Structure 1
Amino acid sequence: MTGTNVHKDAEDSGPSGYAAARLRLLTEGVRSGPPRRAALAELTDEWLAGLFAAGAEDLKGVSLVAVGGYGRGELSPRSDLDLLLLHDGADGKAVAALADRLWYPVWDLGLALDHSVRTPAEARRTAGEDLKVQLGLLDARHLAGDLGLTAGLRTSVLADWRNQAPKRLPELQELCAERAERQGELQYLLEPDLKEARGGLRDATALRAVAASWLADAPREGLDDARRRLLDVRDALHLATGRATDRLALQEQDQVAAELGLLDADTLLRQVYEAARVISYASDVTWREVGRVLRSRAVRPRLRAMLGGGKPVAERSPLAEGVVEQDGEVVLARAARPERDPVLPLRAAAAAAQAGLPLSLHAVRRLAATVRPLPTPWPAEAREQLVTLLGSGRPTVEVWEALEAEGLITQLLPDWERVRCRPQRNAVHIWTVDRHLIETAVRASEFTRRVSRPDLLLVAALLHDIGKGWPGDHSVAGEIIAKDVAARVGFDRADVTVLSCLVRHHLLLIETATRRDLEDPATVRSVADAVGSQSTLELLHALTEADALATGPAAWSSWRGSLVADLVKRVAAVLAGDEPEEPAAAAPTAEQERLAIEAIATGSPVLSLHAQTEPPAEDRPADDPEPLGVELLIAVPDQAGVLPAVAGVLAVHRLTVRTAELRALELPAGVEGSVLLLNWRVAAEYGSLPQAARLRADLVRALDGSLDIGGRLAERDAAYPRRRGVVAPPSRVTVASAASRHATVIEVRAQDAPGLLFRIGQALEDEGLHVRSMHVSTLGANAVDAFYVTGADGAPLPADEAASVTRKLEETLRA
């Protein structure tokens, strides 16, 4: 249907005609994007102008004005209509009647309406009191009525804005900062608010307001396109949901991507992130310029008086060859020749990061436009400047983003393009892949005194996830890329080998420490064989901690840190020549022996909680999300079903299991019977720990069958909070070959949920397996648990039996 026919239907049929024409426009009319938004605004303009003409009749001194997004002619399918009925104050009753004739048809159609009725003086006064009103009036557009009245208001509002800019712009900047703190950064959020988050549509509008002040202007290159892309996504979101929402929720992303003709939700998010990054960077540059201008306005009169009326000369302080500081920014020296100095971008960036200053926009753009590519391999100075940049701590982030905004990073490191703005669909990760790599370098800079080769640590931090842009295991792909990048950057063959090893095994320590039995010599030996040397182990330990800290608060804790440190100590001993010994059966402690004897005497479980093993809150970091927990000792007369019963009772009482060990205990001479000892470390999911007597009573009932654990957990599971419409990936069960000589290690990766350990324990029990120990780990919504199991004969399972168990366990978890 043509735009002309759409408009004709609206004119012929009144409100119902407008509604029909609007529907046709959104479903089968003009293509999506700016043309459709403009067509929808034009259609709405004509409808409202018709309503105004029918209601105004001979009324003079009145006009209808579109403000805000509607004033800019950018109507998304579910956008509010922001309208101002402007009048000269002559006939209040007639103006009120006209307002009713305008607003009620809009409400009748179910359209959202933000309306006001004011004189020009009232509009100006309200704008002076409310910054948001003033921003809306900056985009005022005449729809109908007295054109001179509208033009007069626009002229006055713009004049007020420019005259008051030194006062209002800091207010606007503060408003943007508060919103960013509240909503987060659009370029990193998995469910971003396209309008309110930093780098979103509100910030784009703020940049327009700064430009209208004539005080400063945003870097224009790519800005309009970024804003258009966010508006296109919002249009598709409105059509997909049928609601006026700006939140790009996970369950809508596939449909929005399809609406836009994109490959998948990841492609959609990447485009959103790229647009947000452009707007965020433009905002940083613009607000920096606003601050500079305002400072110079305050200082200039005094300087001119001191200099006798002459023009002050900006002071320039040398920072490095070809690089100087001027007016709080890092700029190129007058004698700098980027076209002859390929190391200059890295030198300028390193100098800026070391000084804690931003790179000026002009300097970065000049470098991007004129600098020659570095030779391969890089000269030593280029490599040293890269390491200096990476080791500068928090200022590295802003400087790196400035280089990336102008394409200099991908010129230096072409492989960076695959990870740039790449989303990570994992609740544990709070950054995109590229920002995570920079955050890891920032964290690693804190550990450079712990290692003998800080340069290798920093470069490994930058590259450890570089394989996430490729198919398959990112560690394997990353090893290949790291070899190429390290050689190109100019590291020698030995250093290239170390860097590729660090990238290949950057998850080795954390995964082994949290999922394997560290008492098993095979575990320690496998890590030692992979690492190869003490110096590499030292680097890998620091990289592991930096990586986890840069991932997010759920990825590192004092508990995980202690496990990794224990593993590193054991591996270091092996690398020093000490072979790990086969662990001897630990003699029971006096308390364990007491519990065992009591369990035999009573014929029922006996337990104790040792809360004193929990470090005091004041001794733990304030941001430690995962305390060590408390020790739970349980002695049970040997019988079937102990593991699922204990796991189920703990789940019912909302206790999280950190580690778990289950073994048969040898009793003192003269004591007949067999006792299972469970030594678990647990923590309360909510509130405080339950009393030991209550746990024991429920455990007794679970073992004799009078407590329906499955039913209780099913009720909990029905009420367990899940994201609507989000389908978790299927559970995966594998056998870790060669992980232990004494048991078969079955690893389970599944969606965390109440009673998961109970279900796994029940399934293993049904297969007649004995669980020697468990190592559980929860990362966000994902559980990764390892079970050391043996058959009834106490030996590891044959390969075919182990494969059968994994298949059955996967089927159980899918049910």
Structure 2
Amino acid sequence: MMRGDARSFAPARKERAGDIDRWLTDLLRTACAMPYPRERGDAKGGPLATDERGTTLGVALVAVGSLGRGELAPGSDLDLVLLHNGRDDVARIADRIWYPIWDSGVGLDHSVRTVDEAAKVAREDLKAVLGLIQARHIAGDPELTRAVRETVLADWRADSRRRLAELRDSADKRAEASGELAFLLEPDLRDSRGGLRDVQAMQAVAAAWVASAPGPRVREAYELLLDIRHGLHLVTARGTDRLVLQEQDAVAGTLGLLDAEALMRRLAEAGRTISHAFDSTWRTVDRLLSGPVPRGRRPLADGVVEHGGEVVLARGVNPRKDPVLVLRAAAAAAEAGLPLAPATVTMLANQSPPMPVPWPDEARDALVALLGAGRAAVPVWEELDQAGVLVRLLPDWERVRHRPQRNPVHRYTVDRHLIETAAGAAAYTREVSRPDLLLISALLHDIGKGWPGDHSSTGEVVARDIGAHIGLPPADVEILATVVRHHLLLPETATRRDLDDPVTISRVAEAVGTREVLELLAALAVADGHATGPAAWNSWKASLVSDLVRRVRSVLSGTPLPPAPSLSPEQAALARHGGGAVRVNGGAVTVVAPDRPGLLWRAAGVLAAHRLVVRSAQAASAGSTAVIEFSVVPEYGTPPDPAMLESDLRLVLAGRLDIEQRLARRTRSMRPPRVPVAPPRVTVLEDASETATVVEVRAHDRPGLLWRIGRAFGECGLDVQAARVETLGAEAVDVFYVVDRAGRLLADEDQRNQVRNQVLAALR
């Protein structure tokens, strides 16, 4: 609960506003009742007329700002407008009101205007119009107040395109200057992104009839910020909005909270709630400013489509029957660079059944795909967090959610730091052999900060539990736990130990164990440093870590590549029959055919043309017969007709189907990706096999990827003897055993470079 048991000062603010209103009413009545000496030509001097109820006519006192909204904190100034109908002696009336306020020591921002003058100023000044939109009548002639509000609101709505663009620009500049409230060590409660002024901006958007007014969660967050500001004014005895470090414990005490950490955790949640709603509001505004969006629905994943610039569920999809749908939709949104529609998030949060434990492979793949989208994953992750989805998927996440890091080196709360690190790690997925474990360990590396004790040690324990929870195999759970346990090992050793001392290197090598873990730790160190803040990572530290990694790698033996795939007894039996055979059994597709160049990639092309995604594949041969086993899933919708798929595979084996032309048509119809991904990496390993040259390809998966790689091999005059293809989340890690047309290894350096460049060109 955002507020929890924090004390509310709302009754005190309401009482103070009432007292101020009565005082100002008396001041206006006294000022208007006093006779003024007439001057030559002054036709409107003397006491003002009143109606039958004693209401003063021709003059009105109007509150704007915090008094107008009824949010007056102990140190707040008064923002007042004296409206009049053109009286010549209004300056004297104003003086009779302003001087007693100044004498009381209360700060005052004041103006004197006719209705037309106020409307003119509002049309030209953003601050003025925002105040008058929420103006509140205090005393005097209510018709003047009504007239100015109606005029200002009508102008605001009529010119909403220009004024809302101006409001957005002002909010962005304010956020750039003041930072993001949820993640600042000493936040500005009013001007930071996620602060009080963002809610007031959303209220102004609602007044333009462009978007809905802030909902109950935003109003709760707003009230909490008002209470924190109220407590801050009580502690400091002045009207300040910056919650500095040394005041936080005292402010927490005024709210009845245990300590500053409890206060800042609630503040972070409130700020993120407001910031999230603010972004959603401006997406609505942007649609107004940019005009109508393209019609139609574009499939993104199974049960997920793009509609109107947002990600929604396909027609007829029932979230109650598909626990993985929420992660699949989130991954699709991140990979497309689009927001999840608010109604879709609400539906998924309310209707998704519990995820089976351990998670099915599809759920874990969707999580990895989401994280692998990089920066685009962060807003989608925030959507899931705001809807309460994350803590249901990963119960241990609750311990780090909104947890502040009271350290100037860190610029984010613990949970936001974790997703920022994972997003940053996506850029290094080509540097490691297990991109899925890199992304998951980046997400969990500081998970131990939710428990007492050394967070690396406690994090290892929690990471084991979460690894098993999400269905990782035991060997992968061990790697994950090791990486979390030692995620600070490289930067701390590099900056605090003598790298020329052999003992230093041997101890790191002993802790790391394998080159695979070392490369995971090296990539994580960079992503963690960048996500922490500018003070945590620089070129000096990067060079030291790189030097340490180089030295440790030299004493570690890498895990050798697994041997080239060989035929199982069942596959060997199929191969002995020779000829051609195609079997489609659910997601398993088996192709048996006389071995010839291009067989693998042509078969993969047929699968891509039928909108099937290859999750894994193995190719091997016995004599003159090749056997290829594919594990496939449909991109979206129902799987293709097995009979039609078999027919096309047989046609391509017989050389009677131009699969390249069909795929080219499909490629032209696809939209270019909106989210940048790490560039592909192709490595030619000379000594990994005695019978073939091994080519390792790491790339972001996309339809037809295997076909593109295989076609590039064909253009280089190579034959694929064997292959092991695997997709981890959205990252393809493929290994091919290739020879030239004469069956020889690629011994020439120029030839190896040609292969590398040809495959890279095919992937771009």
Q: What TM-score do the two structures reach when normalised by structure 1?
A: 0.64
CA distance in 1, matches of 2:156, 2:546: 60
1:218, distance to aligned residue in structure 2 (A):
4.5
Corresponding position of 1:552? 533
1:109 Cα deviation from its structure 2 partner: 1.4
CA distance in 2, matches of 1:487, 1:32: 43
Opposite residue 472 of structure 1, the aligned amino acid is G
Deviations 1:643-686 (CA, angstroms, capped at 9, x unpaired): xxxxxxxxxxxxxxxxxxxxxxxxxxxxxxxxxxxxxxxxxxxx
Structure 2 residue aligned with 1:41: 17
Correspondence list, 1:435-454, <5 A: 435-454=416-435
The reply on whether 1:540 has 2:537 as its aligned counterpart is no
Match of 1:416? 397
Higher relative contact order (CA 8 A, sep 6+): 2
Using the TM superposition, give the Cα deviation of residue 241 of structure 1 relative to its aligned residue in structure 2, in angstroms. 0.5
Structure 2 distance, partners of 1:375, 1:535, is: 30
Other structure's SS at 1:357 match: coil
Q: Could you tell me how far apart the structure 2 residues matched to 1:385 and 1:410 are?
A: 17
1:390 aligns with 2:387: no
The correspondence for 1:188, drawn from 168, 177, 183, is 183
Per-residue CA deviation, residues 408-431 of structure 1 (Å, 9 max, x unaligned), is 111111111111111111111111
Which residue of the partner structure matches residue 88 of structure 2? 92
Match of 1:55 among 27, 31, 34: 31
Query: What's the secondary structure of 1:92's corresponding residue?
Result: coil
C-alpha deviations, 1:171-202, integer Å up to 9, x for none? 11111111111111111100000000011000
- Measure the CA separation in 2 of the matches of 1:558 and 1:212: 50
SS in 1 for 2:311: strand
Q: Does 1:254 align with 2:249?
A: yes
* C-alpha distance in 1 between matches for 2:317 and 2:399: 32
Say if 1:223 and 1:278, in contact at 8 Å, map to a contact too: yes
List gaps (5 residues or longer) in structure 1. 1-30, 301-312, 578-815
Aligned runs of 1:625-774 on 2, under 5 Å? none
Deviations 1:293-329 (A, max 9, x none): 3434xx59xxxxxxxxxxxx93111101111111111
Residue equivalent to 1:177:
172
For residue 358 of structure 1, the aligned residue among 316, 339, 350 is 339
1:224 lines up with 2:219 in the alignment: yes
CA distance in 1 between partners of 2:169 and 2:539 (Å): 37
One-letter amino acid of the counterpart of residue 465, structure 1:
D
2:359 matched to which residue of 1? 378
Q: 2:260 matched to 1:265?
A: yes
Q: 1:148 and 1:269 mapped to 2: Cα distance?
A: 45
User: Is the contact made by 2:68 and 2:136 (CA closer than 8 Å) also made in structure 1?
Assistant: yes
Q: CA deviation at 1:569?
A: 2.1
Distance across 2 between alignment mates of 1:84 and 1:176: 25
Amino acid at match of 1:416: W
1:279 and 1:160 map into 2 onto residues whose CA distance is 27
Distance across 2 between alignment mates of 1:200 and 1:32: 18
Q: How does 1:254-333 map to 2 (within 5 A)?
A: 254-296=249-291, 299=292, 314-333=295-314
Post-superposition shift, 1:254? 0.9
Question: Which AA in structure 2 matches 1:145?
Answer: G
- Which of 510, 514, 527 is the equivalent residue of 2:495? 514
Correspondence for 2:480 among 472, 475, 499: 499
Shift of 1:522: 2.1
Distance in 2 (alpha carbons) for counterparts of 1:146 and 1:443: 60
Residues 202, 214 of structure 2: 8 Å contact kept: no
| Residue identity matched to 1:159 | A
Matching residue of 1:646: none
Give unmatched runs, 5+ long, in structure 2: 1-6, 34-46, 49-56, 559-764
Q: Is the CA contact (8 Å cut-off) linking 2:199 and 2:214 kept in structure 1?
A: no
Which of 149, 156, 159 matches 1:161?
156
What CA distance in whole angstroms lies between the structure 2 residues aligned with 1:561 and 1:81?
A: 53
Task: State the secondary structure of the residue aligned to 2:526.
Answer: helix
Q: Which residue of structure 1 aligns with residue 686 of structure 2?
A: none
Equivalent residue number for residue 367 of structure 1: 348
Q: Report the equivalent of 2:543.
A: 562
Contact in 2 for aligned 1:466/1:478 (Cα 8 Å): yes
Instruction: Give the alignment's TM-score, normalised by structure 2.
Output: 0.68
Equivalent position amino acid for 1:266 in 2: E
Q: CA deviation at 1:240?
A: 0.5
Residues 488-547 of structure 1 deviation map (CA, whole Å, 9 limit, x = unaligned): 111000000000000000001111111111222222222112111111111111111111
Per-residue CA distance 1:336-357 (angstroms, 9 max, x = gap): 2111111111101111111111
Partner of 2:69: 72
1:177 alignment partner AA: D
Alignment partners' CA distance in 1, 2:139 and 2:467: 66
Per the alignment, residue 581 of structure 1 pairs with: none
Which residue of 72, 78, 82 corresponds with 1:81? 78
Written as runs of structure 1 = structure 2, the 5 A alignment for 1:597-612 is none
Q: Which amino acid aligns with 1:484?
A: D
Distance 1:347 1:218, change over 3 A: farther
Say whether the 8 Å CA contact 1:85–1:99 is kept in structure 2.
yes
Which position in structure 1 is the counterpart of 2:467? 486
Output the CA distance in 2 between the equivalents of 1:88 and 1:243.
36
Post-superposition shift, 1:383?
0.3
Residues 113-140 of structure 1: per-residue CA shift (max 9 Å, x gap): 1100000000000000001100100111
Change (3 A) 1:407 1:216: same
| Contact 1:218 1:285 (C-alpha < 8 Å) held by counterparts | no
> For 2:537, what is the secondary structure of its paired residue?
coil
Q: CA deviation at 1:219?
A: 5.1
Shift of 1:221: 3.4
The AA in structure 1 aligned to 2:27 is L
| 2:587 corresponding residue in structure 1 | none
Q: Which amino acid aligns with 1:461?
A: A
SS at 1:452 equivalent: coil
Offset at residue 32 of structure 1 (A)? 4.8
In the alignment, the residues of structure 1 paired with residue 68 and residue 531 of structure 2 have an alpha-carbon distance, to the nearest angstrom, of 43
**1:203 corresponds to which of 187, 198, 204:** 198
Q: Name the residue aligned to 1:430.
A: 411
Q: Report the residue type matching 2:380 in the other structure.
A: V
The letter of the residue matching 1:101 is: R
Taking the aligned partners of 2:8 and 2:20, their CA distance within structure 1 comes to: 17
Tell me which of 103, 113, 136 is aligned to 2:108.
113
Say what the alpha-carbon RMSD is for the aligned residues.
Answer: 1.4
Query: 1:535 corresponds to which letter in structure 2?
Result: E
